[in-house]
């Protein structure tokens, strides 16, 4: 199919953002910040390379506090030094005519005391599980977590609001709440990890409360038309689970309608159309959420150009986010537009490292 007939390369409005194409840079954990958790010079170059006229980039997770990280090398947005370093990224992206949204996340129970000044990781409830997290000693087992006290939650919400305000100061075009992948907000929403009996647990309404308070905090800074939310209804990362994900995420999407958000960012089961959902998983996420959510939907999950065009033509998504392919093809929109061959990604360089297999992938030269 000729690129000029592809919906992928038609303009779209996402909240307050006018975009000229629908190829979105997905948030990816790359772990290359400086020692003070400020974005590094190579991060500036990474995002500059992947910016395209009228395109949208979503950053890797930025963390609202020192103890909200789950991985060493993850950038922060809780000091003025962080703000100044992120400004270099937004300036570089805007110079190429692109838009950039900061994803903000608290990693919750997926962390280690070495990353938080000795404080135990936090979660809505204590639901033991085992994973590995990246510290100065490499990949190590996560530390046991503790349940948040009810009175601690307002200060936690305020830390997200302050992070959103700093993102605005740094020149971003909006913010995205990372409510996916078993991180803190996701563990409040899903009943496999939220066993609370207070105002933040039990019913669907109470389990959604923390996430909605974060959305409201972001909107108080930005206006809702510059706020997005990322969800993973079919996700298993972080040992996340829900007894009825379709009901949970359907309810959450319905509640989000009231805000008039820029978009809902939905992680699909990877490799569209070829994987069988496990018992208890939601059906293909965008198609059932499209029936509920009234705003734009960004779909992510192992798409290629043909799969992206298909979900756009079906009407189940309005934009498609690409991660792994963007990591090794800095000019991915141009390659898709012109049908150029793709460079394969280097998995070993995904989580931390130097400039190798990070900013040394060249743009395509005919």
Q: Which residues are catalytic?
A: 183
Could you give the C-alpha distances from 59 to 24, 30, 242, in angstroms and in order? 11, 10, 27
Q: Which DSSP state fits 193?
A: T
CA–CA distance, 310 with 314 (Å, rounded to integer): 6
The per-residue DSSP string of 58-80 comes to EEEEEBSSGGG-SBTT--B-SSH
Using alpha carbons, list the distances in angstroms from residue 55 to 18, 49, 51, 260: 9, 12, 7, 21
Strand 227-231 relative to strand 174-179, pairing: parallel
Q: Is the dihedral of CA 46, 52, 57, 63 positive or negative?
A: positive
For the beta carbon of residue 51, count every other beta carbon within 10 angstroms. 22
The total of other beta-carbon atoms located within 10 Å of residue 365's CB is 6
Extract the runs of DSSP E, i.e. beta strands, from 151-277.
174-179, 227-231, 263-267
Q: Which residues of 35-49 are buried (b: 16+ CB within 10 A; e: fewer)?
A: eebbbbebbbbbbbb
Residue 168 backbone dihedrals phi, psi, to 5 degrees: -65, -40
Neighbours of 12 (CB within 10 A): 18
Q: Which two tokens stand for residue 206?
A: 């109470």
Number of Cβ within a 10 Å radius of residue 117: 8
Pairwise CA distance, residues 190 & 234, whole Å: 11
Contact 285, 248 (CB under 8 A): no
Q: Is 255 exposed, middle or buried (0-12, 13-18, 19+ CB in 10 A)?
A: middle
359 token code pair: 């900013």
d(CA 82, CA 65): 11
């Amino acid at each position: 199919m000729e690129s000029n007939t592809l919906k992928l390369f038609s303009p779209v409005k996402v909240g307050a953002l006018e975009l000229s194409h629908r190829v979105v840079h997905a948030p990816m954990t790359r772990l290359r910040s400086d020692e003070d958790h400020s974005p590094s010079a190579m991060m500036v170059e990474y995002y500059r390379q992947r910016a395209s006229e009228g395109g949208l980039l979503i950053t890797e997770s930025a963390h609202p506090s020192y103890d909200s990280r789950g991985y060493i090398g993850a950038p922060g947005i809780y000091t003025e030094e962080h703000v100044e370093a992120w400004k270099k990224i937004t300036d570089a992206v805007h110079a190429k005519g692109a838009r950039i949204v900061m994803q903000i996340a608290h990693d919750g129970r997926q962390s280690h005391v070495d990353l938080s000044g000795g404080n135990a990781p936090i979660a809505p409830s204590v639901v033991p599980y085992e994973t590995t997290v990246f510290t100065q000693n490499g990949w190590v087992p996560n530390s046991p977590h503790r349940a948040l006290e009810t009175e601690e939650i307002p200060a936690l919400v305020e830390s997200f609001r302050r992070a959103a305000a700093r993102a605005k100061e740094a020149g971003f075009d909006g913010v995205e709440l990372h409510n996916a992948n078993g991180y803190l907000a996701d563990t409040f929403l899903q009943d496999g990890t939220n066993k609370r009996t207070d105002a933040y647990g039990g019913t669907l309404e109470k389990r959604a409360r923390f996430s909605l308070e974060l959305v409201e905090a972001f909107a108080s800074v930005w206006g809702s038309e510059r706020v997005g939310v990322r969800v993973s209804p079919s996700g298993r990362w972080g040992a996340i689970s829900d007894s009825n994900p379709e009901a949970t995420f359907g309810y959450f999407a319905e509640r989000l309608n009231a805000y008039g958000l820029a978009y809902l960012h939905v992680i699909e089961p990877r490799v569209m159309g070829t994987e069988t959902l496990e018992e208890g998983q939601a059906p293909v996420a965008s198609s059932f959420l499209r029936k509920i959510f009234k705003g734009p939907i960004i779909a992510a999950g192992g798409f290629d150009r043909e799969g992206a065009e298909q979900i756009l033509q079906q009407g189940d998504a309005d934009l498609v986010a690409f991660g792994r392919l963007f990591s090794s093809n800095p000019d991915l929109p141009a390659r898709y537009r012109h049908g150029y061959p793709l460079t394969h990604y280097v998995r070993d360089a995904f989580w931390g490292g130097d400039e190798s297999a990070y900013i040394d992938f060249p743009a395509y030269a005919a």
